């Protein structure tokens, strides 16, 4: 592959998944990290941390249903009421000691938090969730979660799908039904 072709593909890959590290890109293209960095420089693509930071700044202020400190992971894209993306770097503290497999509830929490954040309402609670863990996640792996509001029923009921990937592989998917409340209503039963 010549350089022009490689740089074209590099841009395409980063449009598809903006959260690829230089290391991951170097594996994908089977070239050195140094070459990836030079390619990014020539193409004017900032490093991952900068890409995430600028995306995060635009995203977090849009959220209505959660406080900033209540969001799990780093929110990097937010089309309120439609879709959202967050990323989460798993650490040893999130994993079972015996196996280094990340505990399910940390993955679930990332998904649940994103499902709530994407809702365009002041208060949103989970009513029902159907979830599937598709592959074990090991500590150190980076989770990229994408939430999509599939449909809204009535004024207050939302169907949200969340898929979580490690690199390009899906490790978790969840279907959530959420109910939005005004604060006064929140005493009531979740139907």
Residue number with CB closer to its own copies (58 or 99): 99
Of 24 and 112, which CB lies nearer to its own copies in the complex structure?
A: 112
Q: Does 70 help bind its own copies (rule: CB under 8 A)?
A: yes
Q: What string of DSSP letters covers the chain? A: --HHHHHHHHHHHHHH-TT--HHHHHHHHTS-HHHHHHHHHHHTPPPHHHHHHHHHHHHHTT--SS-GGG--SEEEEEETTTEEEEEEE--GGGB-TTT-BBPHHHHHHHHHHHHHHTSSSSEEEEEEEEEEE-S--BTTPEEEEEEEEEEEETTTEEEEEEEEEETTEEEEEEEEEEEEE-GGGGGS---
Pick between residue 40 and residue 94 the one whose CB is nearest to its own copies.
94
Q: Which stretch binds its own copies (CB under 8 A): 24-32, 46-54, 63-71, 144-152?
A: 63-71
Minimum distance between the CB of residue 101 and its own copies, rounded to whole angstroms?
6
* CB-nearer residue toward its own copies: 5 or 97: 97
Q: Is 104 exposed, middle or buried (0-12, 13-18, 19+ CB in 10 A)?
A: middle
- Total residues interacting with its own copies, rule: CB under 8 A: 36
Which of 104, 120, 146, 159 binds its own copies (CB under 8 A)? It is 104
Residue 144 CA to residue 76 CA, distance in Å, equals 10
User: What's the closest the beta carbon of residue 127 comes to its own copies, in angstroms?
Assistant: 6
Per rule CB under 8 A, is residue 134 in the interface with its own copies? yes
29 binds its own copies (CB under 8 A): no
Q: Does the protein bind its own copies through residue 91 (CB under 8 A)?
A: no
* Member of 56, 80, 129, 141 binding its own copies (CB under 8 A): 129
Query: In the set 9, 32, 54, 186, which binds its own copies (CB under 8 A)?
Result: 186
- Give the C-alpha separation, 33 to 50, whole Å: 17
Residues that bind its own copies (CB under 8 A): 66-67, 70, 72, 96-99, 101, 103-105, 108-109, 112-113, 122-123, 125-136, 181, 183, 186-187, 189-190
């Amino acid at each position: 592959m010549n350089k022009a072709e490689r740089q074209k593909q590099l841009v395409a890959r980063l449009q598809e998944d903006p959260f690829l590290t230089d290391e991951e890109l170097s594996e994908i293209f089977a070239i050195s990290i140094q070459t990836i960095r030079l390619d990014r420089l020539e193409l004017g693509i900032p490093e991952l941390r900068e890409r995430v930071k600028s995306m995060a700044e635009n995203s977090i202020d849009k959220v209505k249903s959660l406080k900033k400190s209540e969001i799990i992971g780093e929110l990097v894209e937010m089309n309120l009421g439609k879709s959202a993306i967050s990323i989460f770097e798993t650490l040893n503290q999130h994993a079972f000691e015996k196996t280094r497999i990340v505990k399910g509830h940390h993955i679930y929490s990332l998904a649940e938090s994103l499902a709530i954040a994407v809702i365009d309402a002041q208060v949103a609670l989970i009513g029902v969730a159907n979830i599937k863990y598709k592959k074990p996640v090991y500590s150190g792996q980076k989770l990229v979660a994408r939430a999509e509001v599939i449909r809204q029923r009535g004024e207050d009921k939302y169907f949200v799908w969340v898929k979580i990937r490690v690199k390009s592989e899906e490790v978790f998917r969840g279907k959530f039904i959420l109910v939005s409340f005004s604060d006064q209503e929140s005493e009531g039963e979740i139907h």
